Amino acid sequence: MPWRETRDPYAVLVSEVMLQQTQVSRVLGKYGGFIEAFPSLDALAAAPLAAVLEQWRGLGYDRRALNLKRTAELVSASYGGRLPSDPAVLAGMPGIGPATAAAVATYAFGAFAPFIETNVRAVFLHHCFPDADRVPDRELMPLVEAAWDRDDPREWGYALMDYGSELKRTMPNPSRRSTHHREQSWFEGSRRQKRAGILRDVLARPGGTAAEYARSCGVEPATARELLGELEAEGFLAREGERYSVVG
């Protein structure tokens, strides 16, 4: 995992955002190319959104790419292109949140910033709540904080990731006994797939109308208009008259 070989805050941030809801194997196939295309926060901030989305292709949940670019723009404009080390500050940036902020603080800055994500959750459910169901994170967090290594928080975090992953591979996933466990929704034929298809079509053929994208993507015209409006409202697309293109 190349992100474990660096303490560059930007590179760590990219990996942590990519790893949200995405398997390590898929991230490994995209991480190096993304960093090569956008080697710094300033480079990502200055890049066209279309180029960022193109590099992100295949990872899914494109909102993560949009938020990552927005964070880069914020850091470039307000922090001189240097990512803050304070997890409380990081958590307020687009698409980051408390767990990702703590992970970046841990892995990039070596901070003591315990956090819970799916693998950490698996470890503590397995050892501390072996027979319990519907366990909330508020009951796990004091144990996570007490156990986290203060002398080497970075390596402890990586060890928990690996151990939790192994537990989930070799036994029934302990995380299923958490109140926060959610099954990932089926992608094939879903609204999420239709939305992703329309966004990809606008990237490939900017300047089309809702009717044109509906035909090329095989969705109902009303659905196409709704999804295009949603993408416009979220900041992915711009509309001129009846024609859509990617922002920037």
Rounded CA separation 21/30 (Å): 14
What letter represents residue 131's amino acid? D
d(CA 44, CA 47): 5
Task: Give the span between the Cα atoms of 217 and 197, in whole angstroms.
Answer: 7
Query: Could you tell me the maximum CA-CA distance found in the chain, to the nearest angstrom?
Result: 59
Token pair for 43: 């480079």
d(CA 211, CA 221): 6
Q: Is 16 a catalytic residue?
A: yes
**Can you tell me the distance from the alpha carbon of 90 to that of 12, in angstroms, rounded to the nearest whole number?**
13
Which DSSP helix (H) or strand (E) runs through 215?
A: helix 210-217
Which residue, chain included where needed, has tokens 């080497």? 152
| Catalytic residue selected from 16, 188, 212, 226 | 16
Tell me the torsion sign for CA atoms 103, 105, 108, 112. Answer: negative
Torsion angle (degrees, nearest 10) of CA 199, 203, 208, 209: 10
Which positions are annotated as active-site residues?
Answer: 16
